[in-house]
Chain A
Amino acid sequence: MNDLDLLLLVSIGTTAVLFAFGTWRWAGALGTLLYALQLALLAVMRPELPLASGIGFEVLGYRLQWSLSGLGWFFAIITVASALFSAWFAAGEWGQHRRNLRLLHGGLALNVTAMLILLASDDLISLFIGWELVSWASYLAMVQRGGPAMDAAYRYLVYALAGALAVLVAIAMIAAQSPALDFGSVRVWFASAGNGTIWTVMLLTMAGFGVKMGLLPLHLWQPAAYSESPGPIAAFLGAISSRMGLFAIIVVLAQLIGLERLGNLPVAFSFWNANEFWAWLAALTLIVPTFIALTQNDARMLLAWHGIGQGGYMLLGILIATPLGVSGGLMHVINYACYQAALFLAVTAVAHRTGTTDLDHLGGLINRMPLTYVTMLFCIIGLAGLPPMNGFVSKWMIYKALLDAQMPLLFVAAVIGTLGTILSVYKLIHNTFLGQLRLEHAQVNEVPISMWLPMILLALIVFITGWMPGLFLDLVDEAVVAIGITQLPHHLGGVDLGNGGLDMLWIVGVLLAAIGIGAIVYFLGNRSVRVGQFDNYAGGQILTADVPYQYSHQFYAGLLRVIQPWMRGGMAWGERALVSGADFLGGAMSGLYRAAPAGAYLLLAVLAALAVTLL
């Protein structure tokens, strides 16, 4: 039994233990420890990558085997770490007065197990099995709150099921032609397959895996499904769940078909190739949901919409197919997981104290919940991709790679997406923490240490890895090499490039110095008078504390007036059209059976058959 077998065993054991003892007081803490153990196992097995598991089956002539490559290992680290922080957050006060803790902890562990099985898959069938396990495990995580959560999860599952079937058809297509389905053989098969075949397989698999990733236009299920799940679960799902789709897409596009082949695959009747096609879809995925996020009035929905958009950056980076682009795209996965998990946890913390995530009913919590504020501040800077946080580094790498690869239009698209992100994350922090404190929140306190410590740790990781991106770039290397791309030369502070690199040690140093000088000026020259948060007056008139004076409803009304005409909900319309089409056909078919002049159908069919065959 090697380390991978041990890891899978521990993970399955974690699931079993947490389902068995989920209602126990210390279940959350136990889960945290078990995830830490899994993380340690992952760290230990790093020198052995790629590591093949001793477990394997042979069914109907197909060998099912599992092996963790550097790519899977990279995603596995993020998965287990996200689960660790989520479980930790839920372990203390947050989980104490909740029902269904068994489902919460067990469901989380089941998700981790399913994801590890997916990440370790080494042939198309084990990939598909892992894929379905992940789909159903995340369904279990989504439905927990009942009511609208169940509707959202149902919508997700219908998408996921249809997508999985598309993947199954693609696998069957390969199985009908290729002698074996292990990744090695499939790679050989792809090398000899014609363009049309590759396009068919690629469209089918992208339709399936794109559902999970939220690739446009398959993203509609995602925001509600994530934000309706319980807080720590939302953090976990938001951080990593969609990235399973990205993982599978990377396996197909980069590992099996090969990015080089992708660039030589023409799109019929156009000057495009497959690579550009997917890159533009990624760009759309990055822009559209980001601007939809801008219009959201619920903090969790806002974050979930961003999750879709950020996935676009990752795919875009990988499709650039240069070491810098691929490293940037993959690094964005881990960076994003850190700040997205922390942001969901921060929003959950606010909801825990105030009972709402409605951005129209929050505000001014900065003094009441300072640590949560710091978490959110650090992480929105990361999400917006500004220095000195880690999100800046990966986005910079993607921008730079786009420019180096002479894709200026995609660069502009990426920048437009970032602009939308900056605007909407400011809305998030402003409506939650800045502005006027609401009277009903006057007595709100900071969350207990069991909740703020994991959040703050994540925020610190976001900062430290922004300062020293080399820490994450080391991990990214494993994945980059596994895809077959040359390793990107890098150091603790950033990357070295022939035409100018990035050294965050220096940038952060300058930034901190500037902040220091600003602080000195501020404290020495401070002439301001501190007033209480309820000490409002306007136009010389004193207002009572219950009059909302500084509030923010319809944030960015002016901007939205400009962009709203473009937001016609075309994709939602398409979805409704599909549903009503199915309803219509359903009605027609059940009418056909219900009318049931049974003998008449038989006679007609016989007549028709005789006419067709004899005439």
Chain B
Amino acid sequence: MNASVLMIALPLLAAFLLPLTGPLARWVGPFAAALNIALGISLWQTVAQEGPSVVVMGGFAAPLGIVFRVDTLAVLFATALAALVLILWPRTSADPRRESALLLILLAAGCGLAFSGDLFNLFVFYELIAVASYGLVAASRERLAAAAGLRYLVLSALGSAFALLGIGLVYALAGTLNLADLSRHADALNSPLGLAAFALMLLGFGVKAELFPVNAWVAEVYSTATARTTALLAGGVSKLALLIVLHLVLLVYAQPAALSLLLTLGLLSIVSGQFAGYRAADLPRMLAYSSIAQLGMIAAAFSVSGEAGVLAGLALALHHLIVKPALFLVGDGWPKCVDSLAGLGRAEPWRAALFVLLALSLLGIPPLPGFWAKLLLLKALLGMGEPAWNLAAAVVLLGTAIEGAYLLRVLQTLFRGTTNAKPATFGGALPAGVLGVALLLVMLAATPVGGALQRAAQQAADVPAYVADTLGGSPQ
């Protein structure tokens, strides 16, 4: 069996067998995640040597059968998600089995989403992720978290319904849901109704991708759920939702109207997120709003057609996947109110230093990796040479300046004065530290990492090759 299928089957199997493992239950999850990373690395090598491949399920060829597309981009997302899940694995949990099962399902569904080659499977895996994430959000014992979780559930379910409606429309218009096949029939969707389907899907999947205006749950959930859940949602799940959007605009909706819509929502996310963050008085909310804006930047990057946009979005997404979870973890246990952070820089110098490092990278200060991501984004936006995208560059500039103003306010507060409070426990020290080290490693290895991302973007943006690979090189 192909490694890509194993990456889905193994965590699922582990999740279902969890009740039978007895005292080993604690170790099953991390083991499965580690195994997934190993599988991902082996797949990475295979893809690097042999190029992208297509896995056909049950012997039915596309467009009728279900296909998995294994390319650099998919492997990258699947492996990164596995790594994030492993790093964020809860070490102490009252009920390890339930949480482990949810995390494993999320992992399996995330991998499935990364590899899926047709819209319906994407939706199924997306829903599976959603269900797992409701459980994780609700796992927090706080009363506020329950309320926030409920709202999240309702909004998410509504979003899914609209996304499904959009998918239904696509099927009605094009007669297929296979992405490669849809790519050949893209003309059928180049109509007002086709565009409406795109809008429905964008708004539906946008709920998880934190796109404006369907992201009202973000600040509430992130400031009440446990830090690890928040980190997983902000770092991993949101990127997977954007991955669906990327597939859509790259393969099916390469039309200017769809790209403009994506860009508009991205820019509105940036503006609303950064300004709301500027006004936020507590740290988790501030980080949540910053996350909205960062995802808006990724959406703006994906709205640039061609390789440059994919590359920029990929770099931003992976950077955010490392930085934002770490920031949430560092902030976990500190007083929530920003003003109460005064003096913690002296009380906990290493933790504060880690926060500074992450914040600087988020702002795009060279030579940290965030700088390269931001440069790629601006280059991609300006490379379009169209007024709306030039404006987008200006919005990114403005947004980052605002983000700088509020993140610097936090840094400033950390090192101002002294505190009498005892150092808070730093529960997330290990995962945050690992992510911080990963960030530094990426900085030092900027050359090979940049090269790998370029290859991934090149492969992903090569639509004719995608179609030919999947449909057996029989262009109609």
Task: Verify if B393 is at the interface (C-beta below 8 Å from A).
Answer: yes
B401 and A60 within 8 A (CB): no
For B137-174 the 0/1 string (1 means CB < 8 A from A) is 00000000000000100110011001000000000000
Task: Verify if B76 is at the interface (C-beta below 8 Å from A).
Answer: no
Contact status of A172 and B382, CB under 8 A, knowing A599-B158, A601-B213, A613-B192: yes
B365 and A593 within 8 A (CB): no
Shortest CB-to-CB span from A364 to chain B, Å, is: 38
Stretch from B19-27, B116-124, B409-417 forming part of the interface with A: B409-417
For A318-353 the 0/1 string (1 means CB < 8 A from B) is 000000000000000000000000000000000000
Stretch from A160-168, A371-379, A411-419, A513-521 forming part of the interface with B: A160-168
Stretch from B2-10, B82-90, B269-277 forming part of the interface with A: B269-277
Task: Verify if B379 is at the interface (C-beta below 8 Å from A).
Answer: yes
A614 and B192 within 8 A (CB): yes
B447 and A158 within 8 A (CB): no
Shortest CB-to-CB span from A217 to chain B, Å, is: 16
Task: Verify if A143 is at the interface (C-beta below 8 Å from B).
Answer: yes
B374 and A168 within 8 A (CB): yes
Contact status of A157 and B397, CB under 8 A, knowing A602-B158, A613-B199: no
A589 and B271 within 8 A (CB): yes
A602's contact among B155, B367, B409, B454, by CB below 8 Å, is which?
B155
- In the bound assembly, the distance between CA atoms of A148 and B353 in angstroms comes to 22
Task: Verify if A598 is at the interface (C-beta below 8 Å from B).
Answer: yes
The secondary structure that dominates the A interface is helix
A158's contact among B376, B405, B416, by CB below 8 Å, is which?
B405
Task: Verify if A496 is at the interface (C-beta below 8 Å from B).
Answer: no
B203 and A609 within 8 A (CB): yes
For A579-615 the 0/1 string (1 means CB < 8 A from B) is 0001101111110111011110111111001101110
Minimum CB distance partner of B365 in chain A:
A132
- In the bound assembly, the distance between CA atoms of A461 and B454 in angstroms comes to 55
Sorting the interface of chain B by its residue count into under 10, 10 to 19, 20 to 34 or 35 or more gives 35 or more
B203 and A602 within 8 A (CB): yes
Kindly list chain B residues whose C-beta atoms are within 8 Å of the C-beta of A597: 216
A598's contact among B154, B257, B397, by CB below 8 Å, is which?
B154
Contact status of A166 and B397, CB under 8 A, knowing A601-B214, A602-B214: yes
Kindly list chain A residues whose C-beta atoms are within 8 Å of the C-beta of B213: 601-602, 604-605
**Residue of B279, B280, B408 with most partner-chain A CB within 10 A:** B279
Kindly list chain B residues whose C-beta atoms are within 8 Å of the C-beta of A585: 275, 278
Task: Verify if B131 is at the interface (C-beta below 8 Å from A).
Answer: no
For B404-443 the 0/1 string (1 means CB < 8 A from A) is 1100110010011100000000000000000000000000
B216 and A161 within 8 A (CB): no
Shortest CB-to-CB span from B233 to chain A, Å, is: 16
A599 and B393 within 8 A (CB): no
- Tell me the residues in window 142-170 of chain A with beta carbons closer than 8 Å to chain B beta carbons: 143, 146, 150, 154, 157-158, 161-162, 165-166, 168-169
A176 and B382 within 8 A (CB): yes
Task: Verify if A175 is at the interface (C-beta below 8 Å from B).
Answer: yes
Shortest CB-to-CB span from B196 to chain A, Å, is: 4
A150 and B412 within 8 A (CB): yes
Kindly list chain B residues whose C-beta atoms are within 8 Å of the C-beta of A129: 366-367, 371
Known: A146-B417, A609-B196. 6 other contacts (CB 8 A): A161-B363, A165-B364, A168-B378, A593-B276, A609-B199, A610-B200
Interface residues of A (CB under 8 A from B): 57-61, 125, 128-129, 132-133, 136, 143, 146, 150, 154, 157-158, 161-162, 165-166, 168-169, 171-173, 175-176, 582-583, 585-590, 592-594, 596-599, 601-606, 609-610, 612-614
Interface residues of B (CB under 8 A from A): 151, 154-155, 158-159, 162, 192-193, 195-196, 198-200, 202-203, 207, 213-220, 257, 261, 271-273, 275-276, 278-280, 289, 360, 363-367, 371-372, 374-376, 378-383, 385, 393-394, 396-397, 400-402, 404-405, 408-409, 412, 415-417, 446-447, 450-451, 454
